[in-house]
């Protein structure tokens, strides 16, 4: 009796969530990518999953409209990565199907980082100047971002029981991996000032305020709210390019590297599971290395 691909897909998604510890969001994405492939190819059996069906699907994806004319290769790769992971799952189960190694990813250009200058970063961090609870909260958010390199989802999930007598705390990131992040003196002070002014008993570290709090089902600040907050202070600071929480995370990483931190340490601080993800920052430090070379190399020959 032939195995049913729809049933196997469900088992694969359960495997990702339970045994591999993938986040709910990741599982949802894999489900969407695989469902689209199965709907397009109309393949119902693992043995019918062929290179030809994958090739036709890739052509279909490439012809989908996108911001630059067609779907970006990077986006197309997400579909291929999910399909390849599914095929590896089938092989692990001893189910005959297409060899996952037959699926190659499309070549993509080097990733461009959205970066702001040190002066722009300084103006951004100095945005919240008042003594109101919302100003203190916003200052604490910005300082915490730059001190720790947290992802916006990680920051929003924090509770107020952070031990400020220590310079570090643990955070649970992607894939439920726990890592240690560190608090700068500025971040510790900003969080303390904010918490000292709080008069509520909510568990969340960062909460909604004003009209947003009145209409919210949960007081915890959402990632979207934090993104709007960062955008507001970037505009106030006169920064014309797009600034997001992830841009501050980039600033955190490049600041460490430009001041002499090694790539492996930055990888650990960012919570990257693969060093290749962190290597995207190395070209940012090339200019810094060029300055070092110019300053220190060949001095004896002058």
CB 151 within 8 A of CB 277: no
CA distance 113 to 259: 18
The percentage of residues in the chain with a pLDDT greater than 90, rounded to a whole number, is 60
Summarised one tens digit per residue, pLDDT across range 69-98 is: 678 888 899 999 999 999 999 999 999 999
Topology (CATH) of 5-102: DNA polymerase; domain 1 (1.10.150)
Q: At residue 261, does pLDDT exceed 70?
A: yes
For the segment 265-300, what is each residue's pLDDT rounded down to a tens digit?
Answer: 989 999 888 888 888 777 666 666 666 667 776 666
Please check the confidence at residue 260 and state whether its pLDDT lies above 90.
no
Do the beta carbons of residue 194 and residue 162 sit within 8 Å? Answer: no
How confident is the prediction for the chain on average, in pLDDT?
87
Token pair of 85 as six digits: 């992971």
pLDDT at 13: 95
* The pLDDT of residue 279: 82
Confidence grade of residue 171 (pLDDT, cut at 50, 70, 90)? very high
Q: Which residues are catalytic?
A: 151, 174, 246, 249, 272, 281
What pLDDT, on the 0 to 100 scale, is given for residue 24? Answer: 84
For residue range 55-67, what is the model confidence (pLDDT) as tens digits? 999 999 988 876 5
Domain boundaries, the chain: 5-102, 118-292
Alpha-carbon distance of 56 to 90, in angstroms, equals: 21
> DSSP for 68-119?
TSS--HHHHHHHHHHHHHHHHHHHHTT-----GGG-PPPP-PPPPP----HH
Task: Specify the pLDDT at position 1.
Answer: 34
| pLDDT for the residue numbered 227 | 95
Contacts of 39 by beta carbon, 8 Å cutoff, 6+ apart? none
CA distance 228 to 291: 36
What mean pLDDT comes out for the span 16-33? 88
Question: CA-to-CA distance for 106 and 39, rounded, in angstroms?
Answer: 22
Each residue of 99-125: pLDDT tens digit? 999 998 887 665 556 788 889 999 999
Quote the Cα angle for 84-88-92, to 5°: 170
pLDDT of residue 213: 65
Whether the pLDDT of residue 6 is over 50: the answer is yes
Is 269 within 8 Å of 255 (Cβ atoms)?
A: no
Could you count the other beta carbons within 10 Å of the beta carbon of residue 133? 16
Contact 121, 146 (CB under 8 A): yes
d(CA 38, CA 47): 13
CB atoms within 10 A of CB 59: 9
Q: DSSP E strands: which ranges in 99-182?
A: 168-172, 178-182
What pLDDT does 248 receive?
Answer: 93
**pLDDT of 165 above 80:** yes
Q: What is the CATH code for 118-292?
A: 1.10.443.10
Q: Would the CATH topology of 5-102 be identical to that of 118-292?
A: no
Give the Cβ contact number of residue 135 at 10 Å: 16
């Amino acid at each position: 009796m032939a195995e049913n691909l729809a049933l196997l897909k469900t088992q694969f998604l359960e495997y990702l969530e339970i045994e591999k510890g993938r986040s709910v969001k990741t599982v949802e994405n894999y489900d969407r990518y695989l469902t689209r492939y199965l709907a397009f190819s109309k393949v119902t059996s693992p043995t019918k999953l062929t290179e030809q069906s994958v090739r036709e699907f890739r052509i279909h994806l490439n012809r989908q409209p996108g911001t630059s004319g067609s779907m970006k290769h990077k986006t197309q790769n997400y579909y291929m990565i999910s399909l390849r992971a599914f095929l590896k799952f089938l092989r692990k189960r001893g189910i005959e199907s297409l060899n996952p190694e037959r699926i190659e990813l499309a070549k993509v250009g080097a990733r461009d980082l959205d970066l702001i200058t040190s002066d722009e970063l300084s103006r951004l961090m100095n945005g919240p100047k008042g003594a109101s609870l919302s100003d203190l909260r916003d200052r604490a958010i910005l300082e915490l971002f730059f001190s720790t390199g947290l992802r916006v989802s990680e920051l929003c999930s924090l509770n107020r029981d952070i031990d400020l007598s220590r310079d570090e705390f643990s955070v649970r990131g992607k894939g439920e991996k726990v890592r240690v992040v560190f608090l700068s003196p500025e971040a510790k002070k900003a969080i303390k000032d904010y918490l000292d002014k709080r008069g509520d008993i909510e568990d969340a570290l960062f909460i909604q305020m004003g009209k947003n709090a009145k209409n919210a089902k949960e007081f915890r600040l959402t990632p979207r709210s934090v993104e709007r907050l960062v955008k507001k202070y970037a505009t106030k600071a006169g920064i014309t390019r797009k600034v997001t929480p992830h841009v501050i995370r980039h600033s955190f990483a490049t600041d460490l590297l430009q001041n002499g931190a090694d790539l492996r340490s930055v990888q650990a601080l960012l919570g990257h599971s693969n060093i290749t993800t962190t290597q995207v920052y190395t070209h940012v430090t090339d200019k810094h290395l060029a300055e070092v070379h110019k300053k220190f190399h060949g001095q004896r020959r002058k």
